[in-house]
Structure 1
Amino acid sequence: MIEIIAVSDEERNYISKKIKGCDILLGCGDLSPGYLDFLLNALKPKISYMIYGNHDKKYFKNLFDVELSGYSRIYKGLIILHNQVINIRRDLDIESNLYISGFSGAFSYGKKPFNFTERDVKVFKRMLQRKNIFGFINNIDIIITHAVPGLENLFEKDMDSYHKGSKIMADIYRKIFPKIWFYGHIHPRYTDQILNFRVHYKNKISYLLNVVPYKYVKYDEKKKEVIEIIGEDGVIRFKDIFL
């Protein structure tokens, strides 16, 4: 079993008092390099990955210096996971393959990779399709994004255009159907809507989890099952979505 902490948007220094450590730290955007460095030192994960949010461009003096892969020079100790799929089995020293993928930005027009359009998501979709066609992956355990995928009937009330999900990203969700999809961008304290979902499809279950400010997940990488999910308030309300 592995322990995962995913974070986004809002910084909480007390996380280290509630959770003593983890195997994987995942940054889902709009967090400062200093805060992520604090979490690295406090939680001591074996491996850490991140994607960018829509506000992260302020940490780059020159946008030509924005890294899309490899260890970041700005977010020291974190690996950028934009538009990629990586098997982290060796990093965690586990027997089972564990695939993780990520895509940066908010669904809107603006500077890439901090913002994206449907055309940009098509590139992500084609990359995932190629990996499947050539047999590199059988399935993906975890996907991290800043924006929410635009699955139908997700929210009771319509989100504004800046927080509305991508339809192509929703298509990726249906086709890949990862065990866990972490997202940020939508702040729970600004809405009364349910933001965490159990997604059902062909007798399988996937979890679509809002990680503002964090989610702690225990995951059985051998059985490919989520064992436990803990958020800031402890008990999590889920909405069941059937595809």
Structure 2
Amino acid sequence: MKILAIADEESKYLWDYYEKSKLEGIDLIISCGDLDPNYLSFLVTLSSVPVLYVHGNHDGKYERIPPEGCICIEDQIYVHEGVRILGLGGSMRYCPGAHQYTEREMKRRAAKLWLKLFRHQGFDILVTHAPAYQLNDGRDLPHQGFQVFRSLIEKYRPKFFLHGHVHMSYGRNHKRYDKYQDTHVINAFERCIFEFEDENLKEHIF
């Protein structure tokens, strides 16, 4: 399964200079937040594959202008072709605003998923906006990751952890790819494509 992961910055390559051939072979699109809802609607219309999303901390307008035709996976386990995908959007709370949480609040959200996790026997992909604590996060509060994400990874050992929020243009040596235990960690900033079945992902992610 070939997956397009996106976050934080609309790709001019896809939106301004769109060609249908650029999405050929893509089986699933996953947004990790902070993207224009019209961009997501554009992608779902022209790709004819499911577009899943979680909210970023700047996605308050989604309540007024939801991405049409797209699927919100907040606090859900969505199954696509047998792949279990868990969504937990939002960032660390650093100012008044939507889709921001304290560590305790995010832990409470995760705890409420116990029955879904039990029924699905875990998950294969964790999709968030913020990174996990000390996994490609920043040391400032706005970009600090959640410890509960690390706990979920350690307990359920998903194959992938997709996040956004820490822009690769920040100059903090944020990486596109990392690995934590058995989990491939991907920063979806702007866009990247990967194969779910690829065992040598580090060499092929782009």
Identify if the C-alpha distance between structure 1 residues 57 and 226 changes in structure 2 by more than 3 Å, giving closer, same or farther. Answer: farther
**Is 1:190 matched up with 2:167?**
no
Q: How does 1:36-75 map to 2 (within 5 A)?
A: 36-45=40-49, 47-61=50-64, 74-75=66-67
Unaligned 5+ runs, structure 2: none
The change in CA–CA distance for 1:80 and 1:158 in structure 2 (over 3 A counts) is closer
Q: Is the 8 A contact 2:166 2:174 kept in 1?
A: no
| Aligned equivalent of 1:34 | 38
Q: Indicate if the aligned counterparts of 2:103 and 2:148 stay in contact, CA closer than 8 A.
A: yes
Q: Which amino acid aligns with 1:163?
A: H
- Cα displacement (A) at 1:190: 1.1
> Could you tell me which of 160, 173, 178 is aligned with 1:180?
160
Match of 1:161 among 121, 138, 141: 141
Match of 1:85 in 2: 77
Deviation at 1:101, TM superposition (A): 0.6
Determine whether 1:24 maps to 2:4. Answer: no
* Displacement after TM superposition at 1:168 (Å): 1.9
Give 5+ residue unaligned stretches, structure 1: 62-72, 90-96, 232-243
CA contact (8 A) 1:48 1:78 kept: yes
Amino acid at match of 1:23: D
Q: In structure 1, what is the Cα distance between the partners aligned to 2:30 and 2:138?
A: 28
CA–CA distance in structure 1, aligned partners of residues 61 and 161 of structure 2: 26
Deviations along 1:141-160, whole A, 9 cap, x unmatched?
11111000114xx35x9521
Q: Measure how far apart 1:207 and its partner are.
A: 0.8
**1: CA distance, partners of 2:67 / 2:186:** 23
Residues 26 and 49 in structure 1, CA contact (< 8 A), matched pair in contact too: yes
| 2-structure distance, mates of 1:36, 1:183 | 17
CA–CA distance in structure 1, aligned partners of residues 51 and 91 of structure 2: 21
Corresponding letter in the other structure for 2:36? S
In the TM superposition, residue 116 of structure 1 has moved relative to its aligned partner by 1.3
More helix by share: 2
The answer as to 2:151 corresponding to 1:171 is yes
Query: 1:80-100 CA distances to partner (integer Å, 9 max, x unpaired)?
Result: 1111112223xxxxxxx3110
**Contact between 1:149 and 1:173, CA under 8 Å: does it hold in 2?**
no
In 2, distance between residues paired with 1:190 and 1:60? 28
User: 1:226 Cα shift?
Assistant: 4.6
**Alignment coverage as a number of residue pairs:** 197
Deviation at 1:28, TM superposition (A): 0.9
Shift of the 9–158 alpha-carbon distance from structure 1 to 2, 3 Å rule, reads closer
Give the Cα–Cα distance (whole angstroms) in 2 for the partners of residues 216 and 60 of structure 1.
28
TM-score (norm 1): 0.72
Cα gap change, 1:48 to 1:180, in 2 (>3 Å): same
2:9 and 2:2 map into 1 onto residues whose CA distance is: 21
Who wins on radius of gyration, i.e. which is larger? Answer: 1
Change (3 A) 1:21 1:41: farther
TM-superposed deviation, 1:230: 2.8
Query: CA separation of 1:60/1:140 partners in 2, compared to 1, >3 Å: closer, same or farther?
Result: closer
After superposition, the CA RMSD in angstroms is 2.3
Residues 19-75 of structure 1: per-residue CA shift (max 9 Å, x gap): 434111111111111211222233331x221011111113445xxxxxxxxxxx720
